[in-house]
Structure 1
Amino acid sequence: MNEKIIDVSEKNLETEHICCAISDNSDCQVTAKKGWLADRFRDGLVFKKVNVRGKCFIEYIPAEKAWAPVNALGYMYINCLWVSGKFKSQGYSNLLLENCIADSRQKGKKGLVVLSSKKKMPFLSDPGYLKHKGFLLADQAVPYYELLYLPFEENGPKPEFTVSVKEKKTMEDGFVLYYSHQCPYTARYVPLIEELAKERGVCLHTHRFESAEEAKECPAPFTTYSLFYNGEFVTNEILSEKKFDQILLKFQ
């Protein structure tokens, strides 16, 4: 494995492909994600990608600055570890995670923390892989979320979800969507389902997080995209128009 790991920063952000969206810088998804990243670098965010043409990267940030409703003082929070397609089973996940561990140790962190699930779910880190790498269960939240952590020392403090997750209170009745531009796909798909809801005469409240402080008050662990209906969690999957229409038919 001779591929080079590239650190994406404010210096090369405009020229580097950010892996999980198309490469056209004028596309709304790329614009949204790169804008989000540019503001997060000052908070200590790290984005490392393998020098291949595809989704093969890790993104992490000090937990205190993470857009996630977790209490994990002194930890590094992994936003996303994504190795897809032909790059799977090539050792890239290990390579990226090992780089993250080494960097986090050097920065004096207590360990790593990451959002996962009881079984592998869309847009969430693979629990089987993480537990194989030594991650432990720190906390749980309905319906299937698991907060996993990798302590760098014995008897280190255990991270946990915040009160907002445990209380799970939404701001309005009906359909309520909480999201951010941490994932570029929300910039494309949220407006599409907003328009569909309007066409169907369905009330859909959307709330885009614009700061870590706002995101930490989210009633669900996954702040990138969480859909509720009358206060009950529906899905964390970023929905196409077709999939959202199916949900409307189910609940209306």
Structure 2
Amino acid sequence: MSDTAIITLNSNNIEQQHICCAISDKKCAEGVRLKKEWLQERFQEGLRFKKLDVRQKVFIEYLPADYAWCPVEAPGYLFINCLWVAGSFKGKGHGAQLLAECLEEAQGANGIVAVTGRTKKPYLSDKSYFLHNGFQVCDQAPPYFELVVLKFNETAPTPKFKATVQSQKVEFSEGLQLFYTAQCPYTSYYIGELETGAQERGIPLQVRRIMSAEEAQNAPTPYTSYSLFYKGHFITHEIMTRNKFEKSVEGWIEKYGLPG
């Protein structure tokens, strides 16, 4: 296992430390500011952000599931927001080192849960890695989300997604509707690209920023950092660049019809 030092972000050092995700992406400066503000508020709720002491994306972020920004029922569990090890750092034990930090803090809890994809998806933690470390799939939600759990207390309730993500009902059905939070530093910049693309196509767009854990826990999607709907149908949790939007929009219209 790697023995590289791990830094724990907190209210005292967060302004001097990078937050991994957008470490060298200048266009995401505003998103980084919003993310750090979001973290400052979550620290008070027990969030932990731990990263390898390197200038790369090698980190884990977790908090008590009661405060998770995700519609899950997992009382007494810890919820992993993200476990990310950049490609050049994989295979060196860093993932195990970070997960061990979470396991140590989870002693006395019912267990640990995380959201993955049925198959490997960008932005979602790797299900195979969790399964390799003893987690099991305990619930699914359309179209491809899965909840994995590592139970410490076998008598505790098995975690599950809330009913809102099974029905995926949204109020806006005329065009595009985006749900997002400040949890991902990339969203604020790319919302602008989505807005431009939608305007040029004449597609109505409603952008809804989720502002609290309570709101997130009643969202129609497990991935509240960024989830896009078209005419009431879930489209993707992957951030829409302008190029990706242009490649995808005709497929949405063909499948679900013209906006309006």
Q: TM-score range by the shorter chain?
A: over 0.9
Deviations 1:91-123 (A, max 9, x none): 000000011000121xx3111000011111111
Q: Give, as a single letter, the amino acid of the residue that structure 2 aligns with 1:217.
A: N
Residue 228 of structure 2 corresponds to residue 227 of structure 1? yes
Distance in 2 between residues matched to 1:235 and 1:87, nearest whole Å: 28
| Partner of residue 118, structure 1 | 118
Paired residue for 1:242?
A: 243
Do residues 152 (structure 1) and 158 (structure 2) align? no
Alignment partner, residue 101 of structure 1: 103
Q: Structure 1 stretch 74-83 or stretch 196-205: which is displaced more?
A: 196-205
Residue in 1 that maps onto 2:130: 130
Aligned length in residues: 250
Note if 1:36 corresponds to 2:42.
no
Residue by residue over 1:27-68, the C-alpha shift from the partner in whole angstroms, topping out at 9 and shown as x without a partner, is: 112111111111111111000001011000000011010100
Q: Secondary structure at the match of 1:60?
A: strand
Tell me if 1:195 matches 2:196. Answer: yes
- Per the alignment, residue 56 of structure 1 pairs with 58
My pick for the range that moved more, 190-199 or 81-90, is: 190-199
**For residue 144 of structure 2, what is the amino acid of its counterpart?**
Y
Instruction: Give the whole-Å Cα distance in 2 for the aligned partners of 1:171 and 1:244.
Output: 22
- SS of residue paired to 2:12: coil
Runs of 4+ with deviation above 6 angstroms = none
Partner SS, residue 27 of structure 1: helix
Mean Cα deviation higher: 62-71 or 25-34: 25-34
Q: Distance in 2 between matches of 1:126 and 1:2?
A: 22
Give me the TM-score of the superposition, normalised by structure 2: 0.92
Q: 2:121 is matched by which residue type in structure 1?
A: M
Shift of 1:26: 8.6
Distance in 2, Cα, partners of 1:175 & 1:25: 24
**2:166 is aligned with 1:140:** no
SS in 2 for 1:120: coil
1:4 is the counterpart of 2:5? yes
Between stretches 84-93 and 21-30, larger displacement belongs to 21-30
Rounded to whole Å, the distance in 1 between the matches of 2:79 and 2:87 is 25
Contact map agreement 1:25 1:31 (CA 8 A) in 2: no
Name the structure 2 match of 1:218.
Answer: 219
Please report how far the alpha carbon of residue 143 of structure 1 lies from its aligned counterpart in structure 2 after TM superposition: 1.1
- Counterpart in the other structure of 1:83: 85
Q: CA deviation at 1:85?
A: 2.1
1:183 matched residue in structure 2: 184
CA distance in 2, matches of 1:223, 1:132: 26
Tell me the residue number matched to 2:257.
Answer: none
Corresponding residue of 2:20? 19
- 2:99 and 2:91 map into 1 onto residues whose CA distance is 14
Equivalent pair of 1:168/1:220 in contact (CA under 8 Å): yes
How far is 1:131 from its partner?
Answer: 0.4
- Partner Cα separation in structure 2 for residue 179 and residue 121 of structure 1: 18
- Give the counterpart letter for 1:155 in structure 2: T
Residue 66 of structure 1 is matched in structure 2 by 68
* 1:25 positional shift: 11
Deviations 1:216-241 (A, max 9, x none): 11111111111111221111111111
Matched residues, percent identical? 46
Task: Report deviation, 1:191.
Answer: 1.9
CA distance in 1, matches of 2:222, 2:28: 31
